Amino acid sequence: MTIKKMTTIKTTKAAKTPNLLTGVASTPKRSISSDSLEMSRRITNVWRANKNKSGIDLTQQKAAVHLGVTQPMFSQMLNGSVSINPMMVLSVASLLRCDLGALVGGLKEYKILHAVSPTTSIEIPVTLTLSGKPVSGKVTKIMTHTISEAFAVEIDTDEYAPRYNNGEYAIIDPLTQWEVGNQVLIRFGKGACLVRVVSSINGSEVITHHPTVVGVSTTIDLADPTITVRGVIRGVQF
């Protein structure tokens, strides 16, 4: 498993940071496949049909929290402005309680999902808290579509509310290569962790922003082995 390592933390506050609010504004435009565009259309239809059903009752903001993305990113998923990877499709199917087979049927880009059931859960370890305290013997359940190497971090601060609330568990994917728009977990040695949204990547310099506090950005230089990006945040277990 390869984990990018980082150093030189510089946090600044800016009066206006319009590009940092979405985490995607500085991303170079990529071509979006026809399958991904069709997936956006299907997810949008399911979203409209299921979001207000009993037991689901979601806003875009709530859905984004569950999926581990920002609300603007979720909106872009619905309107076809960004590509949707298979793991996200599985997360959406689980969240909206829809038929995964119908969602991916006929789309070659998502054929890996055809034999997956989004209804079976497995246990993953809760390894630490955001403040850096080790956790032993605690587990939480996630859907089997999430990678088996996933782990959970206990939220023990109010800093990230309402996106991540005290007592919840952030689900961390340590294998997927993180990119602009991802919410990631950054850890300092064996100490505390930060939750940040990747805003831009320029060589070894990575600019991130706070997921809930507007105007707070953190610049990180990819060098120091004592600082690591532990993985992409894939969702929250309540």
Please state the rounded mean pLDDT for residues 102-109: 89
Q: Please name every residue paired with 129 in a beta bridge, in sequence order, or none if there are none.
A: 154
Q: Any idea which of 59-63, 143-147, 164-168 has the lowest mean pLDDT? A: 143-147
Cα–Cα distance list, 135 to 139, 152, 236 (Å): 10, 10, 17
Q: DSSP E strands: which ranges in the chain?
A: 7-13, 121-129, 139-143, 151-154, 169-173, 183-188, 193-202, 205-209, 216-221, 227-237
Domains annotated on the chain, with CATH = 7-23+120-237 (2.10.109.10), 34-113 (1.10.260.40)
Mean pLDDT for all residues in the chain: 80
Of the pLDDT bands very low, low, confident and very high (cuts 50, 70, 90), residue 194 is: very high
- Tokens representing residue 227 in the block: 């600082």
Check residue 118 and give its pLDDT. 53
- Tokens representing residue 153 in the block: 């971090």
pTM of the model: 0.61
pLDDT in tens, 29-42: 458 999 999 999 99
Q: Any idea which of 54-58, 89-93, 101-105, 151-155 has the lowest mean pLDDT? A: 54-58
pLDDT in tens, 81-98: 999 988 788 888 878 888
Q: What is the dihedral of CA 5, 8, 9, 11, to 10 degrees?
A: -140
Check residue 66 and give its pLDDT. 77
What's the distance, Cα to Cα, between the start and end of the chain in Å? 28
Check residue 165 and give its pLDDT. 85
Rounded CA gap, 19 and 10, in Å? 18
